[in-house]
Amino acid sequence: MNLLKIPNKKGDKIYYYFDYGRSKGQRPTTGIFTYTNPKDQVERNHNKEALLILKTKESQLIIDAQATGGAYIPRHRFKENFLDYYEEYVTINQQEGNRHLSNSFTQFKEFIKKEFISSVEITENFCIRFRQFLLDKFTGETPLNYYARFKRVMKAATKDKYFHENPTEDVNARSNSSKSLKENLEVDEYLKLLRTPCENEEVGLAFIFCLYSALRWVDVKRLKWPTIKENALTTRIIQRKTGKPVVITLHPIALEILEQQRNKRILTGDTSELVFQLPSADGANTVIGKWVSKAGIEKYITWSCARLSFSILLQDERIDEATVAYFMGHTTTAQVRKIYKRHRPKAETAAIGVLPTPSQESRKKMGSEDAAKHPNISYVYSIK
């Protein structure tokens, strides 16, 4: 391992570089310099510390080279604070549009309530308590999604030798069923909202757009014009076979809303890429609550109910789950089947009528002797 010492133009400082050869990129800087002729004690102390750091870096590189190809991982490769490892994993592996991984890190920090945690502190019991923390705080699939991402981080950390055994191996992710089913809007209630003015037009139009497109709040909040082309919406889903995003055709009402927003944009000179100018989620839900009540709908409706309503009404009309999942941005039907569905009886009289029933004519032909031989039929005949 060679080190190059190159003075600056003034000659008052010396910069140090690693020397791996003469090709491009083989002489990276160490980021360290010393004073050529230190003028005071501060500069002398700087030189002393800088040379110690330089010696440490040189030693680490030599150890790295010696460990290459073996099972041993040098200790300096480990991050003492496991939060640093977690954060780096999130940065490297975060997928656009998927917030579960970054949110799992946020919840992990909230759970530990401190700025430093070593890998030694993360035991199986610790993981059980973190899972319970998520279950106590969230409902539905959220605790499962966050903990599943945490498990992914722990699996990676185990492979990176932070743990001898994965502490989450036997601590499975769990969902937390809601105590009450979320409300959805029926066909007549869609129409009621369309006929009822909303006090905040942007909120009203954005909500109706979600009713007809299944977008989530976070999706419509940041919806931009470049994602809408030729009456279709480009989603964040990427087809595995083609490597291209899924393009979903929009409902005529959704298209009318977009046209209205375009015209408004032209009239006001709005240059923003955002389709809707919306307040906070809480503010928007407050507006929705008042609007729903004004329309005479006696239900507790929030923004997330739009997505559920979209799914239920399509399935009521016998649209298959695969198509509904496609519209909603899912790559499988699992979420549609588990979350965005309601099992509710419809047309009970017509349904029960499909069971076999003897005709009046066949009843008349059946005599008392036959009835005696068939007590079950006799019982049916006794019912008026």
Q: Tens of pLDDT along 140-194?
A: 788 999 999 999 999 999 988 888 899 999 999 998 875 556 788 999 999 999 9
Sheet architecture: strand order including 29-35: 2-7, 13-19, 29-35
Across 305-312, average pLDDT: 88
Across 258-274, average pLDDT: 91
- pLDDT above 90 as % of the chain: 46
C-alpha to C-alpha distance for 205 and 210, rounded to whole angstroms: 9
Which of 73-87, 293-307, 309-323 tops mean pLDDT? 293-307
- Identify whether the C-beta of residue 231 lies closer than 8 Å to the C-beta of residue 250: yes
Q: Output the pTM of the full model.
A: 0.54
Across 51-70, average pLDDT: 74
Query: pLDDT (tens digit, 9 = 90+) per residue, 341-350?
Result: 555 555 555 6
Query: pLDDT (tens digit, 9 = 90+) per residue, 62-102?
Result: 776 665 555 555 565 678 899 999 999 999 988 765 688 99
Residue 157: strand pairing partners:
none
Q: Which CATH architecture has domain 187-338?
A: Orthogonal Bundle (1.10)
pLDDT higher at 305 or 74 = 305
Query: pLDDT (tens digit, 9 = 90+) per residue, 14-50?
Result: 999 888 777 887 888 888 999 999 999 999 999 999 9
Across 226-243, average pLDDT: 64
**357, pLDDT greater than 90:** no
Across 191-211, average pLDDT: 95
Across 251-274, average pLDDT: 91
Q: How many CB atoms lie within 10 A of CB 343?
A: 4
**235, pLDDT greater than 70:** no
pLDDT of residue 3: 82
Across 192-201, average pLDDT: 95
pLDDT of residue 219: 87
User: Mean pLDDT over all residues of the chain?
Assistant: 82
pLDDT higher at 65 or 240 = 65
pLDDT of residue 381: 43
pLDDT of residue 241: 43
Give just the sign of the alpha carbon dihedral 267, 271, 273, 277: negative
SS3 labels along the chain: CEEEEEECCCCCEEEEEEECCCCCCCCCEEEEEEECCCCCHHHHHHHHHHHHHHHHHHHHHHHHHHHCCCCCCCHHHCCCCHHHHHHHHHHHHCCCCCCHHHHHHHHHHHHHCCCCCCHHHCCHHHHHHHHHHHHHHCCECHHHHHHHHHHHHHHHHHHCCCCCCCCCCCCCCCCECCCCCCCCCCHHHHHHHHHCCCCCHHHHHHHHHHHCCCCCHHHHHCCEHHHEECCEEEEEEECCCCCCEEEEECCHHHHHHHHHHHHHHHHHCCCCCECCCCCCHHHHHHHHHHHHHHCCCCCCCCCHHHHHHHHHHHHHCCCCHHHHHHHHCCCCCHHHHHCCCCCCCCCHHHHHCCCCCCCHHHHHHCCHHHHHHCHHHHHHHCCC
